[in-house]
Amino acid sequence: MSEGLDQPRLGLTPEPDEERREDVLPERVELHPEGREDVLPERVELDDWPEAEAEAEAQPEPEPAPAPEEEEDHPAEEDELPRSAVAQHAAGQLRIPDGYGVIEGQPTGNRRAVGVVVARFNGELTSELLTRALDELERAGVGREAVTVIPVPGAFELPLAAMALAKTRRYSCIVALGAVIRGETPHFEYVASEAASGLQLAGLETGVPVAFGVLTTDSEDQARARLDKGAEAVRTALEMADVFSQLRAAAGAAPA
């Protein structure tokens, strides 16, 4: 017989009955936050379950936590958040005190030649700007034969075309029309800024009024709501042309 076969095999010993296992199981303990050990209550036997359930139901339910108090609204002067300016334009008319010499232009044709530079980019918008500008020129008394229209690729090219027209000295004023709509890149800022500064430079260097009729908006809907800027630019250009004409006349009439 092999050695060790007469020894009992592991795991084949009979399991202790329920009473013996309950006797050898140690009591579970739980460490209290203050450091002492609290003995957990003994296990509830099945025979005692109804009484334990009734005892648990008798315990009072914990009161709900109070809701956080709502913050009171502070007056505007106490609010720490910055506030953006709402009004961008002030209503009302300019009032000049009596007793001063005033040279004021009128938006009339008065046999003036007008140059119009218009961007093809965003053509659906610029076409409407051009239509309203030409209608306004006709209402002001400027005949079609006195108007020259020069289309250019985009708003960025408007200053160059305006400068070229102004340097011919054939036109009393220039109207620049275009539409630049903000996109997802800084391209909008560069084009809008350069168009504005370039058109102003054309007028400053040549002495010919150049009216800014370029829409610079955040969306197409905003641009459509401002299509009357075409007619407004015409009135601005004609008024400034009349002022310049009066200034030259006054300078020529002044004694040397």
Both structure tokens of 26: 């140690």
The two most distant CA atoms of the chain are separated, in Å, by 148
Strands 114-119 and 37-39: unpaired
Residue 56 pLDDT > 60: no
Residue 173 pLDDT > 90: yes
The predicted model gives 214-230 an average pLDDT of 97
How far is it, in rounded angstroms, from Cα 170 to Cα 152? 20
Both structure tokens of 204: 């400053």
The predicted model gives 250-254 an average pLDDT of 79
Q: What percent of the chain has pLDDT over 90?
A: 54
Note the CATH architecture for domain 114-253.
Answer: 3-Layer(aba) Sandwich (3.40)
Q: Which helix (H) or strand (E) holds 216?
A: strand 210-217
Q: Which residue has the tokens 């040279």?
A: 103
pTM: 0.63
Amino acid making up residue 116: V
190-210 confidence digits (pLDDT tens): 999 999 999 999 999 999 999
66-107 confidence digits (pLDDT tens): 665 555 554 444 444 444 444 556 778 888 898 888 878 888
Contacts of 241 (CB under 8 A, 6+ apart): 105, 112, 172, 173, 209
Which one of the listed residues 32, 74, 89, 187 is annotated catalytic? Answer: 187
The yes-or-no answer on residue 32 being catalytic is no
Both structure tokens of 80: 């720490």
Say what the pLDDT of residue 84 is: 42
Domain boundaries, the chain: 114-253
